[in-house]
Amino acid sequence: MRCILCERLSFKGICGKCLKRLLDEPKHTRILEGGLKVYSFFGYSAITPILHVKHNFWGHRILKQIASHTFGEFGKKFEFGEKVAAVAIDDKPHDGYSHTAVLSHALGSASIVPIYGALRAKNSVKYSGQSYEFRRKNPRRFKVSPKLKKFKYAILIDDVVTSGFTLKEAKDALAKEGLETLFALVLADAKE
């Protein structure tokens, strides 16, 4: 196999040298309208090849590798007074697996419990490449699962934040059910 970034021979999808370079990139923070804080590990352009390969039949391996080094390490260091639900944005399987479920799974720790299928969109329109106006006119209309009733706090999980509209809508849906969203955690921020 070859590294998807530098094409050197590698036993993993991303070689050790490229992985170190990626992990050395500074982390990003953005505060969305309404006050939701979003932490991202990369700027979008830094991991574009990884985000594109997630749609291949072996993309889950690459995503799982990068998730364990980012979300996994974050989860190990995160401490909170009680259990917090990791809620993936619309974790329906696409391309044979759910991209957000892979990220949520990696985040699982003593303080963070991944809850699968907890926040599903009733509107399945694709947002990729669409304008903010399109996203605003076509809300996801999230349905919150009763699985979350035993939690007071949540962390929202997504792969990419663009306009932030989806995350804000998800936060509002959880708030209607009595859950406080501490912050959102995403792999990449498209607004670099």
pLDDT in tens, 21-50: 767 766 889 999 889 999 999 998 888 887
Which has the closest alpha carbon to 86: 174, 164, 191? 174
DSSP secondary structure code for residue 34 in this structure:
T
Q: Which runs of E-coded beta strand occur in the chain?
A: 28-31, 37-43, 84-88, 112-115, 119-121, 142-144, 153-161, 180-189
What pTM was estimated for this model as a whole? 0.86
CATH of the domain spanning 27-189: 3.40.50
* Side chain identity, residue 114: P
95 Ramachandran zone, left/alpha/beta (phi>0; psi -120 to 50): left
pLDDT at position 186:
96
- Spans of the chain below 50 pLDDT: none
pLDDT at position 95:
62
What are the domain boundaries of the chain? 27-189
| Terminal-residue alpha carbon distance, the chain | 31
